[in-house]
Amino acid sequence: MTIITDGGSTKCDWIAIDDNGIQLFEKVRTKGLNPAILTPGELMGRIQESDRLKLHKNDVEHIYFYGAGCGTDGPNKALTEVLEKLFPNAEVVVAEDTLAAIYSTIDNNEPAVVCILGTGSNCSYYNGEGIEQRVKSLGYMLMDDASGNYYGKQMIRDYFFKVMPESLRVGMAERYNMDEDFIKYNLYKQPNPNAYLADFAEFLFLNKDLTYSTDLIKSGIRVFTKSMIMQYKEEIKTVPVHFAGSIAYYAQDEIKEVGAEMGFKVGNFVRRPIEGLVNYHAKNIH
């Protein structure tokens, strides 16, 4: 049995396939498993919440985990050790989520710039053989432009600075607990503050009919383009820019507008990379 995992900060999808690439049981979803934010104990506890994964822990021979926060040595090693303990017979490979985005969006192994816009954000260049990453991600506090947590932060700021439409402020207060102490508690004393912030982005996209919303979405994409996509300003003259993640999926129109405005060719959109990952590994099964 081989398990392929698409791991984000908010949620993780797990799919098991046999030696013929056939899916063995329904997709398993667990809470997010970002090893750059969670402790090994928290990672282990979240995985063990799944009865299905516990049931098959001794049957798993290979695990390919692609996840947010897995691009640096320390977090990668921590998650690898957790998975090796939980699945004692498995060969474990942990890789950053940018690789998952590439496998799920590229066409016929052709070069492309590939972006992730989900709870967090990232951007890399696939040259047809390997990845070129020109910016090291420093996480949600300093980077992650145009991500779910980026838009959530902007929404909360605009709410308290009273610069969003009054109807939207009323709607946010009805949908979320906007008490300042509650917000600070979730941001500074709870795990996964990035996922907490990203939850507010859903409200932004539910109100895309407002000029405020589309302006904010496009503003974030412009910032992301300047800071990340333009790291590959020579490459985007000849290759498309693909996007993976829920924010990108729901912001397709705005991304295409900004692409036309800032000079890059928009390629494919994939909301959840897991399906593309399964296809990739089914073709390259051991």
Give residue-wise pLDDT tens across range 97-152.
Answer: 888 899 889 988 899 999 999 989 999 999 998 899 899 888 888 999 999 999 99
Asked whether residue 111 is assigned to any structural domain, the reply reads: no
Enumerate residues 6+ apart whose C-beta is below 8 A from 182.
none
* Domain tally, the chain: 1
Task: Categorize the per-residue pLDDT at 258 as very low, low, confident or very high, splitting at 50, 70 and 90.
Answer: very high
Residue 11 lies in a domain: yes
d(CA 166, CA 54): 48
What does the mean pLDDT of the chain come to?
Answer: 93
Query: Residue 68's pLDDT band (boundaries 50, 70, 90)?
Result: confident
The CATH number assigned to the domain holding 59 equals 3.30.420.40
Is 235 part of a structural domain of the chain? no
Tell me, yes or no, whether 28 lies in a domain.
yes
**CA 138 to centroid of chain Cα atoms:** 15
What is the model's pLDDT at position 92? 97
What was the pLDDT predicted at 140? 85
pLDDT at 93 over 80: yes
Q: Tell me if residue 110 falls in helix, strand or coil.
A: coil
The pLDDT, as a whole number, for residue 69 is 87
194 in a domain, yes or no? no
Report d(CA 270, CA 66) in Å as an integer: 15
pLDDT exceeds cutoff 90 at 19 = no
Nearest to 122 by CA among 34, 193, 206: 34
Better-predicted residue by pLDDT, 258 or 69: 258
Q: Is residue 76 part of a domain?
A: yes
Judge whether residue 279 has pLDDT over 60: yes
* Higher local confidence (pLDDT), 181 or 96: 181
What is the model's pLDDT at position 179?
98
Domain assignment of residue 212, yes or no: no
The vertex-68 CA angle with 64 and 73, nearest 5°, equals: 75
pLDDT > 60? residue 88: yes
Q: According to DSSP H, which parts of 8-164 are helical? A: 40-48, 51-55, 73-86, 97-105, 148-161
| Cβ 131 vs Cβ 102: under 8 Å | yes
Determine the structural domain holding residue 23 and report its residue range: 2-100+274-283
Q: What is the pLDDT of residue 286?
A: 54
Give the rounded percent of residues in the chain with a pLDDT score beyond 70. Answer: 99
Averaged over 175-204, what is the pLDDT?
A: 95
pLDDT of residue 285: 60
Q: How confident is the model at residue 192 (pLDDT cuts 50, 70, 90)?
A: confident
- What are the start-end ranges of the H helices in the chain? 40-48, 51-55, 73-86, 97-105, 148-161, 166-175, 180-188, 193-206, 211-227, 246-250, 252-262, 274-283
Q: What is the DSSP letter of 229?
A: G
pLDDT value of position 174? 97
Looking at residues 262-273, what average pLDDT do you find?
A: 94
238 domain residue, yes or no: no
Residue 9 has pLDDT above 70, yes or no: yes
Q: How large is the average pLDDT for residues 43-67?
A: 95
Q: Residue 176: its pLDDT value, please?
A: 98
Confidence of residue 274 (pLDDT cuts 50, 70, 90): confident
DSSP, residue by residue, 259-285: HHHHT--EEEEES-THHHHHHHHHHT-
Confidence of residue 178 (pLDDT cuts 50, 70, 90): very high
**Structure-derived torsion over alpha carbons of residues 133, 136, 140, 145, reported in degrees to the nearest 10:** -50
Give the pLDDT mean for 46-58: 95
